[in-house]
Amino acid sequence: MKKIAVLVSGGGTNLQALIDAQARGGLGGGEICVVISTKAGAYALERAKNAGIPGLVLPRKDFPSNQAITVALVEELKARQIDLVVLAGCMVIFTRELVEAYPNAVINVHPALIPAFCGEGCYGLGVHKMALTYGVKLSGATVHFVSEDCDGGPIIAQQAVEVWPEDTPESLQKRIMEQAEWILLPQAVEKWCQGKLKVRGRTVIVGE
């Protein structure tokens, strides 16, 4: 069994997708062993509690820097013998200590088709506002390994989603979650736990 930690900051809809996948045996033998929130009171912690998964709060505001919270996080992950770290709506940009401790074992979901609308400052509804302002006809979601560069790690999977003329940031966000994020993220975690994701340079080889 691969031990999984899911990192969150808000409502936890992607966490719920992972919980639902786990309930139907869809995480490839992996198990969510802890949910860690960088914000106290995040509803994601309620989702974890309802699923019987331990929750932990590491408030970003309690640390002087992103590096400080990263070091504390790695210590917590190692103490729990975590194998895979999944960023599911986590709003903290962690520093190199996390990647060094978990090479090719930190997965993030981003609500756009990287390299479009990504990098520092591109998160949440802001990403969808950018897509609508730019006038793209397609957006979507990307699941990728985390590297030292924000949203710059090797891409595992992408799914395009049509942008409608009447879309608002909220409606586009909802459709991308439903049609892409909630599908791609559990699939990526499942394949990682099955040993089917191999990284060669900047390329992820997905095995059967």
Report the domain count for the chain: 1
Q: Dump pLDDT digits (tens) for 12-61.
A: 999 999 999 999 999 999 999 999 999 999 999 999 999 999 999 999 99
* Active-site annotation holder among 2, 39, 110, 175: 110
- Tell me the C-alpha distance between 197 and 208, whole Å: 9
Instruction: Give residue 47's region: left, alpha or beta (phi > 0; psi -120 to 50).
Output: alpha
Q: Dump pLDDT digits (tens) for 123-182.
A: 788 899 999 999 999 999 999 999 988 788 999 999 999 999 999 999 999 999 999 999
By the 10 Å C-beta count (0-12 exposed, 13-18 middle, 19+ buried), 47 is classed as buried
Mean of the per-residue pLDDT values for the chain?
95
The question of whether 144 is a catalytic residue gets the answer no
Q: Dump pLDDT digits (tens) for 67-84.
A: 999 999 999 999 999 999
Range of the domain at 147: 2-206
Q: Where are the alpha helices (DSSP H) in 36-65?
A: 43-50
Q: What is the pLDDT of residue 125?
A: 83
